Structure 1
Amino acid sequence: MSFKKIIEPLKNNLIDQGVLKPNALQTQILSKIKGGTSMFVIAPKGSGKTTSMIISVINKLKHAFEDAPRALIFVKDKNEALELTQLFNYYKRGTDLRVYCAYEQKNIDAQRDEIYEGTDIVIATPKRLNAIFYLNGINLNKLQMFIVEDADFLFRNNHFAEVNRTPESIGKCQYLVFAENYDDRFDRWQDAFMFNSEIINF
């Protein structure tokens, strides 16, 4: 997919960063993501996984809609959540998309109330997302995209089990997992909810 096929504000923000055309990874995966394919994207650091994910989410959602989030992105910790939120806020300029960041170090009641007010994209640590969900603080019924960013972190500190719980509560959804390495434990996801997903080794 060329950048000619993305929404104008996003294209302008990419140009502002000197990004005039898709790189090799983006050329391989952006059209597949746009088409709704669930996939594991296995690629080295610096190959453009994060930018690919941001482009795909913004281009798919396009504008604010209702109150429930349509994209959920799991990240390792508070720092990763804040950094990714900052990137989204940059690339979504010119749209009215709403991004919310949830992590353990912030008051959970405040986070629940803020999510309830309406958001399109939630970036969260697994532990905090589960805590908010079990407080009935997030509606996942409108979710279109379930994403794990830099998924290598999942296999430490029980994160894999925590992320496993979420698909049990959502309906049809596109799943995207970005990682530097494919772990055999991902096979369970292919059997459980990532049916017919593709593995892209870059």
Structure 2
Amino acid sequence: MASFQDFPISKQLQYALDDLGFTIPTPIQVQAFPVVASGKDVIGISQTGTGKTLAYMLPLLQNLSYSKQINPRILVLVPTRELVVQVVEEIEKFTKYQNVRTVGVFGGVNLNRHKEAVAQGADIIVATPGRLYDLVISRALQLKSVKKVVIDEVDVMLDLGFRFQLVNIFELLPERRQHIMFSATMTEEIDELIQDFFRGTTTISIASSGTPLDNITQYCYRVQNFYTKVNLLGHLLQDKNEYTKVLVFVDNKRNADRVFDALDGQFVNDVSVIHSNKTQNYRLRSIEEFEQGEHRILVTTDIMARGLDLDKISHVININTPAFAENYMHRIGRTGRAEQPGTSILMFTRKEIEAKEAIETLMDMQIEKLAFPEEVEISTQLLPSERTRIKERDNPHKRNEDEVGASFHEKKAKNQKTNKGGSYRRKVKEKYKKPKTKGDKNFNRRKKK
């Protein structure tokens, strides 16, 4: 199929695609459409940024007829709140000329609000597993009419500990249903889930998770420590013409705040930060401001590495080298989307060399190393994890572990006795050859006579 014009879809869907400017389908969209439309269980293995949402929604929407019933017929499960919001927005764009009711539910919002929303009726429910399970067990939502179940980014769901909710949701669904699962990686845990619930599956694999997108240029810098990385980051971001829309990945929430504090003083009103400690409204507002160009730089943890579709990100900068090589692939997949060029920059310390080499082994390529700029200051400030532990070699007040101190001495003879129990118990045991208990008082008394 050379274009979407060749897809057997309704005029309403075709008009929506034209409005969005979608003309040429991606490989995953081409291969997934006939299989999903046939009603078979599907497992799609494809990199992030290859158009998976449209790949599964286009055939589902084509076969979704108009209905006034309250209970949903399509269920889409995603791992994060931001993904729920994004998928709902995408579906609303695809159904611009159709009468399709889509409701998104996720944690961090009052449950009663979502109870009211689903009570109005929905054709498609997009949800995180935890919130969906809450709605089902509270009987605010019934799944008896669900015929199509989409599990997007399933590997992230399992990493976040959603297996319990997923299994319970599967057991509450009608027995006759179609499963559509998309993931960037395939793990043993995912395979177990497939074996338990899927039937006659068709696997569509476009590219392995270690295959980098051809339109992403990759560079790396060898850096002394964390705060020197921050200095290098600030130096690079000064070029506003080159670094037009930058996503900065940091390994944890505390370091994300540290990077934000440093950049916020240098680039006032041009930086935002999101991580799981931020409120839902703050996170959604930060993403919206970044997407609309109000902020040029967004600092985040791996919460943003999967699924979210942000347009025209010029650079992805990794402050830390991910411990798992595949996480690096998910991070850089935020740029170079929809055939657009993108650039990835990796910063690594001496301790992170092994992790960097694991990434290069996975990709089967070497990341081009750039010279560290001379004008960037080498910071002497260290994180607690970077500081060397001081060993007091010649401290006269610190004894060795095997050394016996002055307070340890031989016990006196009276204290060397072992506890053999009370004298009463010993005498009774000697006389009657066994301990005396309440149950044998009469027996012992008769024996004595």
For residues 164 and 186 of structure 2, the distance between their equivalents in structure 1, rounded to whole angstroms, comes to 17
Amino acid at match of 1:195: R
Distance in 2 (alpha carbons) for counterparts of 1:40 and 1:57 = 15
Contact preservation (8 Å) 1:72, 1:145: yes
How far apart, CA to CA, are the structure 1 residues paired with 2:164 and 2:47? Answer: 25
How many Å apart are 1:21 and its aligned residue?
Answer: 4.1
1:29-68 correspondence to structure 2 within 5 Å? 29-68=32-71
**Per the alignment, in what secondary structure is the counterpart of residue 5 of structure 1?**
coil
Does the 8 Å CA contact 2:154/2:190 hold for their aligned counterparts?
A: no
Match of 2:63, SS state, is helix
User: CA separation in 2, counterparts of 1:184 and 1:123?
Assistant: 26
Report how far residue 136 of structure 1 moved: 0.7
Report what 2:186 is aligned to.
182
**What is the DSSP-based 3-state SS (H/G/I as helix, E as strand, rest coil) of the residue aligned with 2:103?**
strand
Q: Which amino acid aligns with 1:6?
A: I
1:149 matched residue in structure 2: 152
Give the 3-state SS of the residue equivalent to 1:20 in structure 2. coil
Letter in 2 for 1:186: I
SS at match of 2:126: strand
* 3-state SS, counterpart of residue 203 of structure 2: strand
CA offsets 1:81-102 (integer angstroms, 9 cap, x no match): 1111111111111111000010
1:190/1:196 contact within 8 Å kept = no
SS at match of 2:165: helix
1:96 aligns with 2:93: no
Q: Which amino acid aligns with 2:88?
A: T
Shift in Å at residue 153 of structure 1? 1.0
Q: Deviations over 1:57-79 (max 9, x none)?
A: 32121434411101111111211
User: Against the structure 1 CA distance between its residues 121 and 74, is the aligned structure 2 distance closer, same or farther, given a 3 Å change threshold?
Assistant: same
| Number of corresponding residues | 202
1:193 — aligned with what? Answer: 197
Within-5 A mapping of 1:4-153: 4-153=7-156
Whole-angstrom CA distance in 1 between matches of 2:95 and 2:131: 24
Deviation larger for 159-168 or 127-136: 159-168
Partners in 2 of 1:59 and 1:160 — Cα distance? 30
* 1:22 positional shift: 2.8
Deviations 1:120-145 (Å, cap 9, x if unpaired)?
Answer: 00001111000111001111111011
Q: Secondary structure at the match of 1:33?
A: helix
In structure 1, the residue matched to 2:172 is 169
Q: Which has the larger radius of gyration?
A: 2
Offset from partner CA, 1:15-43 (integer Å, 9 cap, x none): 12222243322221101100001111000
Q: Structure 2: which amino acid aligns with 1:137?
A: A
SS at match of 1:182: coil
SS of aligned partner of 1:105: coil
Structure 2 gap ranges (5+)? 207-449
Q: Which has the higher contact order (CA 8 A, sep 6+)?
A: 1
Measured in 2, the distance between the counterparts of 1:65 and 1:193 equals 30
Query: Which digits, 9 at most, give the CA deviation of each residue in 1:99-131, with x for residues without a partner?
Result: 001011222122122212210000011110001
Per mean C-alpha deviation after superposition, the further-off stretch among 4-13 and 27-36 is 4-13
5+ residue gaps, structure 1, are none
Contact 1:64 1:98 in 2 (8 A): no
Which TM-score applies when normalising by structure 1?
Answer: 0.93
Q: CA deviation at 1:157?
A: 2.7
SS of residue matched to 1:79? helix
Mapped to 1, the partners of 2:56 and 2:195 lie a distance apart of: 24
Task: State the Cα distance separating 1:54 from its structure 2 match.
Answer: 2.2
* Matched letter for residue 204 of structure 2: I
Name the SS for the 2:47 alignment partner.
Answer: coil
In structure 2, the CA distance between the partners of 1:26 and 1:39, relative to structure 1 (3 Å rule), is same
8 Å contact kept, 1:62–1:95 = no
Distance in 2 separating the partners of 1:162 and 1:11:
36
Amino acid at match of 1:180: A
